[in-house]
Structure 1
Amino acid sequence: INLTEQFAQIAVVGPKARQLLERMGGMDVSRDALPFMDWREGTLAEFNARVFRISFSGEMSFEVAVPASQGRAFWDRLLAEGADLGIMPYGTEALHILRAEKGFIMIGDETDGTVIPQDLGLNWAISKKKEDFLGKRGMEREAMLSPTRWKLVGLQTLDGSVLPHGALAVRPEKNANGQAVTEGRVTSTYYSATLGRGIAMGLVERGPDRMGEELAFAGDGDTRIKARIVDTVLYDKEGEKQNV
């Protein structure tokens, strides 16, 4: 039975998130009682709630699910209780920038029908114990094992600008048809106010083995934008902000 629509879920995010939930009263949301990647069921103020200690932003975050009929009331209560803490709603664009700073992938951006877990550095998520599973045969095909597959990396423009979304990394040489030879593409790209420059992720041929190399990305017309291959995690690499 799918009960998804029976709940309204709100992410309470930021360095004062725990302070706000503790102020509302109810269940214990301290670090010891509710560690990162765990969840609890109880009450916050007078609301029945399921609280998940997860984060897609890389910041301290609690995702709170309450009965759908109480969603608006819980939202209003959060805004009232957090007024003096500077609480404000934030949208998906801000969330995307935060997750890109942390190197978190987005399904549909970093993935499509051609990308496999190994391309994204997710080898750890593939079972080493099962003799067989759905998709195993596909991942063992010759093309999936090619050493020249495009793999996920971070990208940093040399001038701090924002790379165009979907821009292709091109080599100087042409193929037999006179077309530019491509060796990667931008999958996510934003301006990071925290870092004061453009940030991006992309899939690049043998990307993780080419850290520090410079690539040329196609811009308008014949222009080229230089970018350096860097780690996918551009901010708070040790995860200190989300693990407090």
Structure 2
Amino acid sequence: PPYHPISMGTIAGEARGDVFQPIRRTPLHDWHDANGAEWEPVGQWRRPYAYPRKGETTHDAVMREVTNTRSKLGMLDASTLGKIIVKGPDAGRFLDMLYTNMMSTLKPGKCRYGLMCSENGFLIDDGVVARIDDDTFLCHTTTGGAESIHQHMEEWLQTEWWDFNVYVANVTEQYAQIAVVGPNARKCLEKLGGMDVSKDALAFMEWADGTLGGFKCRVYRISFSGELSYEIAVDAGQGQAFWDALMVAGNDLGVMPYGTECLHILRAEKGFIMIGDETDGTVIPQDLGLNWAISKKKDDYLGKRAQQRSHMVDPTRWKLVGLETTDGSTLPDGAYAVGEGENENGQRNMIGRVTSTYHSPTLGKGIAMGLVLNGPDRMGEVLDFPGTDGKTYQAKIVDPVFYDKEGAKQNV
């Protein structure tokens, strides 16, 4: 406690009004603002939700952005994604314990998608890990998870694995990261010139350092949309200039910026999960059909023993499925599926819930993802979802991958 008494106002400081919580802005914030972005709070960041044009509704803007990205060329400001350097002789060993899958076998120049669980077994973050060299990895986290995952790493290093020779650093704000997405993505980068971004030179889930249009950059060939996609990191101070160069290069290729809602629809069409939507602190990777991302070669990882507890292997845990309304409408977000009978409180039995729901302009209908009792074994079954509007929606259980299941578009 302070030696001399102080007021509560001093302790509270500036935590009121507009500065109640710090607002974080990417290097491209002013451009987004000048180009009509509607803002969405994501953690402490402000991200463009969509870019409505004059006389256009937000919904129409989102539909336009999705259609354009699928058919031509879209650009997303992905600078908010967490970027954590993990370095040292024991870096691979450390990441093997943090992620459910094996990271120590990743070769320099390659990327791997990884899942991170708490010691209680619940899924807390996901992202792409890139191996930079024998002793160095770059871990991408969710936007909201950068600080908490960095803290999570430090806690385990300092309290449990203090003998691991590893250093971690959160470098999220040191880089601007731009996703260049769509059938014309490669053509756009080739117009800038400076490095080979062909399929042979930079295959899916690889990365390379180089120069594009005179900008020193690191190019990741990764995709959260299912389209041909590159995520390009440049120094934060070069972010705006690089974005401007991409806009010029993509001008005759149909370039268009897109926001977070378009991003959500693109990933949902591909059946990609989103932390915070498909997860709520009670979900494990096995619930989401992500068993393929859990290593069978490792003796241990954070959460492994917890996932072997009786209620974690209970066959009645709700599992991820896709949902399509029978009339093409869009399911209400968070709606519960009701089954036969009632519980002891006289309420109808809940057998599932909607985790993500959107109208897909690509497919011309409503699509959703949800967790359902015995869901993967009930393909084709129609469930009832009562809405708060008094209407009961009916949706059929389908595969959660609605678009390009074979991944042909992202592998060109």
Q: Same fold (TM over 0.5)?
A: yes
Q: For this pair of structures, how many residues does the alignment match? A: 244
Q: Which amino acid aligns with 2:401?
A: V
2:362 maps to what in 1? 194
Matched, 1:185 2:353: yes
1:74 maps to what in 2? 242
2:172 maps to what in 1? 4
1:117 maps to what in 2? 285
Q: CA deviation at 1:196?
A: 0.6
2:252 maps to what in 1? 84
- What is the rounded CA distance, in whole Å, between the counterparts of 1:61 and 1:130 in structure 2? 31
1:52-201 pair list within 5 angstroms: 52-201=220-369
Name the SS of the counterpart of 1:70 in structure 2.
helix
- What is the rounded CA distance, in whole Å, between the counterparts of 1:50 and 1:134 in structure 2? 30
Q: CA deviation at 1:142?
A: 0.8
Q: Which amino acid aligns with 2:198?
A: S
What 5-or-longer segments of structure 1 have no aligned partner?
none
- What is the rounded CA distance, in whole Å, between the counterparts of 1:103 and 1:85 in structure 2? 27
1:32 maps to what in 2? 200
Name the SS of the counterpart of 1:145 in structure 2.
coil
Q: CA deviation at 1:128?
A: 1.1
- What is the rounded CA distance, in whole Å, between the counterparts of 1:229 and 1:9 in structure 2? 36
Q: Which amino acid aligns with 1:215?
A: L
Return the TM-score normalized by structure 2. Answer: 0.58
- Once structures 1 and 2 are overlaid, which stretch shifts more, 11-20 or 222-231? 222-231
1:228 maps to what in 2? 396
Q: CA deviation at 1:127?
A: 2.1
Q: Which amino acid aligns with 2:306?
A: G
1:38-57 pair list within 5 angstroms: 38-57=206-225
CA contact (8 A) 2:195 2:211 kept: yes
- What is the rounded CA distance, in whole Å, between the counterparts of 1:5 and 1:72 in structure 2? 14
Deviation per CA, 1:193-242: give whole Å up to 9, x if none: 11110000000011101111111011135532110000000011111111
- Once structures 1 and 2 are overlaid, which stretch shifts more, 127-136 or 168-177? 127-136
Matched, 1:207 2:366: no
CA contact (8 A) 2:213 2:245 kept: no
Q: CA deviation at 1:33?
A: 0.1
Name the SS of the counterpart of 1:26 in structure 2.
coil
What 5-or-longer segments of structure 2 have no aligned partner?
1-168
- What is the rounded CA distance, in whole Å, between the counterparts of 1:134 and 1:237 in structure 2? 31
- What is the rounded CA distance, in whole Å, between the counterparts of 2:371 and 2:291 in structure 1? 16
Q: CA deviation at 1:81?
A: 1.3
- What is the rounded CA distance, in whole Å, between the counterparts of 1:107 and 1:213 in structure 2? 27
- What is the rounded CA distance, in whole Å, between the counterparts of 2:389 and 2:195 in structure 1? 58
- What is the rounded CA distance, in whole Å, between the counterparts of 1:106 and 1:150 in structure 2? 17
- Aligned-residue RMSD, C-alpha: 1.0
2:115 maps to what in 1? none
Q: Which amino acid aligns with 1:6?
A: Q
Q: CA deviation at 1:63?
A: 0.4
Structure 1 stretches of 4+ with a deviation exceeding 4 A read none
Name the SS of the counterpart of 2:256 in structure 1.
coil
Q: Which amino acid aligns with 2:257?
A: P
Name the SS of the counterpart of 1:136 in structure 2.
coil
Q: Which amino acid aligns with 1:3?
A: V
Deviation per CA, 1:131-176: give whole Å up to 9, x if none: 2322112101111111111000000000000000000001241111
Q: Which amino acid aligns with 1:80?
A: V
Q: Which amino acid aligns with 2:382?
A: E
CA contact (8 A) 2:378 2:397 kept: yes
- What is the rounded CA distance, in whole Å, between the counterparts of 2:389 and 2:182 in structure 1? 42
Q: CA deviation at 1:5?
A: 1.4
- Once structures 1 and 2 are overlaid, which stretch shifts more, 169-178 or 11-20? 169-178
